[in-house]
Structure 1
């Protein structure tokens, strides 16, 4: 009876210790997993913020070379995959490493010979893993590219659904998307085949090691160096030990196969914009005199022997209206792009009130120099959000005042929620004329000193055009107009004719008509 009580007491004591250790293990496991998941969330947020900020600092040519689908995939899919791989694999590596060393100590105490055989499995699996990583890394890079292309293709098709529908191209777009999916499935199929071969070889290696261990264990038992009980204990530790080693190899393999994704993300993070850094110059008063001095410019994607502008020199006088005219492809849009610092000239310089453009503060320059294009870019959200885009602390009264100056307050008030009306993706719920009105209001609400109108009133009716021009020309603003409409050009104080990237002639409308040169011939061809 006494002995039974002692055994019961020892049993319950051991059971209590086991329960205590299990509770502690579960607690620390939960804490470890929670900490790593919180770290993963913070890492993803920080990486996405840094990458998005870096992308917005790049020059325009960068976005011409890299399509939006690819950049979106890098920003979301690649960053998520990178953060998940680093955080989760680090979690698994810490857990497996601790368990491996603890089990290794116990197994060495039971039989160092069998432990050596167990450890031989790891370098053999590492060789297989290395070969598999080489294959899978290339396939994973291809998979990421396929995802980016599919996303870009779907985005373009959905975004241009009006054009697709107008040309009855639905079947063609479905065919293109199906081909892209087939390409991605082919990559996945190859990846699956490689994975199956790797798993088969890994199982064969593990099976061979187990057979060797059993042969060695029989030899040790026969000479009395190993008992049956120790052999059973050894095998109870050997299986989780092998699983931990495989998990370490898997973490290493996953991390190495994601190196391509990680390198692309960090290449973007480390990329320096190929444009001059903006200065801090921000004078209280700006006259608005613009000077081009021997400006030569070639688009980065164009051949270097075909410049868009060739030693262009011209001046836009402050408080005056200057018109840029000429045939399509002559260089008018290139001049506007350089003024907005979307590109940098290879030779010469552009001055604003005698100071190079790049010396002005970025915020100051784009507040004092506003552009209204023929096809303005609007964003999803309310009318008010689009009008005060980029401005802080812009009151609704200021927005309404700018709208009234262009006679746009009437149609805005008739909308369901007036200035809070959602205009849809890229302003899809507005007509082309209404989009131009919103773009003009967006420019005027900034009270700029220089306004560039690139066919900005081409989709407005005559009365609204007249109102807009009156408002733009008021307050002594400098106005640069790129237009093909005769009445708009005739009102200009100065006209500059650009053809083949060079200034051919300039003067007033009467002076150029009297010369009977290129401006006169273009008027006869296009305006009459």
Structure 2
């Protein structure tokens, strides 16, 4: 009977408890490795992104970075351990089954091997197209995510302009592009599976015909043929798995390539500085400084600026929109490097100072302060390793933020919500000022930082500035702020106006300089 001929030919079956224990240990080990790899890749990628220059973020969309950080790192980390698990298991079984098949019929064994190159060739052609579609899908999904983040993040603007339907249409178009790519991916997959099954069926028919000839010739028994076909069915499954692993590896190459591209990218920044003197006067010198953004190198924003910011004085930097005022503040924070000239802090290039030290000594309060989810205290002490509550409250009092902090239910430990959405605009600005003051910086930059403050709060801030010997740079348009400055610098199209030009000018800033000159005389 066929059962008698099959029994001595089947490989020995291991005991079920031992097999289950081994499979569980193997699978658990690979899952543990996968989680560790995923955590490590995400951590390294996030760390690499935070160290990139600002020009990189101007050229790369946030949605694309988020897709690389979430989707692509997951593909990378899951492929290696899971596929290695399946690959090793399938490889061992393929070798074992082929040894049994070879003992039954070498001729049929070599004939069954003809299916392998056909499968590899079909898989290779399919993988080239599949990988290209996957890359397009990644970009399309990232674009759809970018639309969602822009619409939700700027919901107030969307509502103000009644653009809800416009955003819905944008998202619908992005999803339609994703749907078309998904449909194309699934269609090509279905055609590939159909071709593979037709080849497999053809090989089965060919082997049956060859096996029948061997039975008639007396080289093979019926039971041997049946055993061979059963073994061949199993080995075909594992060979398909091996080929699929190869294709899956190629499909993940695109994701891994982009992640490793970001990991290996070197920021366009000078070597990190090491200067951290115990005392700093805060004297800032711009010596013939020119600058153009990396994305627009042929359009200079600053052209040969030369001026000095003195300790104990407040300098007002004024000028029309687009004249380069905010760029001056960015250079002073070492966010960009001058394309020409020198920017010195206490006689040393600002890039030579240690990163953490520099940003404790040079603090900025922007026109639109950025707060993070967490408590009031977390936002004031942001970036500081340790800071007492007394020091935090002193900074809040100097910024006139202590009044509304005391009225909160949990005081300093009240949650401000995502991006500080639980606070009013003026309250956000006061917290941002307190965040700068708690560092006791030697150089303080106020970029329209008092635009949302009332007169009393602004006057208190100016009184605090006048009591110290720190260097203060104010970028403002309010007459009260400008008139109280020790010196006024006027920017126009990236250039400082000379004294003669200011005295002969008829614009608002020129008249302010003329009034200050008359008061000094």
Q: TM-score over 0.5 for the alignment?
A: yes
Offset at residue 523 of structure 1 (A)? 4.5
1:466-481 matches, within 5 Å, as 466-481=459-474
| Match in the other structure for 2:316 | 323
Alpha-carbon distance in 2 for matches of 1:222, 1:357: 91
SS of structure 1 residue aligned to 2:468: helix
- Of 347, 353, 356, the match for 1:363: 356
CA root-mean-square deviation: 1.8
The answer (yes or no) to whether the contact 2:483–2:512 under 8 Å persists in 1 is no
| Match in the other structure for 2:211 | 217
1:249-271, Cα deviation, whole Å (9 max, x unpaired)? 00100110111111000000000
Alpha-carbon distance in 2 for matches of 1:288, 1:429: 36
Offset at residue 398 of structure 1 (A)? 1.2
Offset at residue 473 of structure 1 (A)? 3.0
Where do 5+ consecutive residues of structure 2 fail to align? Answer: 1-6, 516-521
Work out whether 1:163 is the aligned partner of 2:152. Answer: no
Offset at residue 23 of structure 1 (A)? 2.5
Alpha-carbon distance in 1 for matches of 2:504, 2:206: 100
Offset at residue 519 of structure 1 (A)? 6.1
Alpha-carbon distance in 1 for matches of 2:15, 2:230: 19
| Match in the other structure for 1:7 | none
| Match in the other structure for 1:60 | 54
- Number of residues paired by the alignment? 504
Work out whether 1:281 is the aligned partner of 2:275. Answer: yes
- Of 372, 376, 382, the match for 2:365: 372
| Match in the other structure for 1:419 | 412
The answer (yes or no) to whether the contact 2:318–2:509 under 8 Å persists in 1 is no
1:341-420 matches, within 5 Å, as 341-420=334-413
Query: Deviating runs (4+, > 6 A) in structure 1?
Result: none
| Match in the other structure for 2:95 | 101
| Match in the other structure for 2:65 | 71
1:261-286, Cα deviation, whole Å (9 max, x unpaired)? 11000000000000112211000000
Offset at residue 22 of structure 1 (A)? 2.8
1:114-193 matches, within 5 Å, as 114-193=108-187
- Of 80, 83, 87, the match for 2:77: 83
Structure 1 residues 32 and 226, CA gap change in structure 2 (3 angstroms): same
444-453 or 317-326: which moved more? 317-326
TM-score, L = length of structure 2: 0.94
Offset at residue 31 of structure 1 (A)? 1.2
Offset at residue 329 of structure 1 (A)? 1.0
- Of 489, 494, 497, the match for 1:501: 494
TM-score, L = length of structure 1: 0.93
- Of 435, 446, 458, the match for 1:453: 446
- Of 187, 195, 205, the match for 1:201: 195
Work out whether 1:294 is the aligned partner of 2:288. Answer: yes
SS of structure 2 residue aligned to 1:397: helix
Where do 5+ consecutive residues of structure 1 fail to align? Answer: 1-10, 12-16
The answer (yes or no) to whether the contact 2:399–2:431 under 8 Å persists in 1 is no
SS of structure 2 residue aligned to 1:323: strand
Work out whether 1:314 is the aligned partner of 2:307. Answer: yes
Offset at residue 406 of structure 1 (A)? 2.3
Alpha-carbon distance in 2 for matches of 1:156, 1:109: 65
Alpha-carbon distance in 2 for matches of 1:197, 1:374: 57
Offset at residue 394 of structure 1 (A)? 1.2
The answer (yes or no) to whether the contact 1:497–1:519 under 8 Å persists in 2 is no
| Match in the other structure for 2:240 | 246
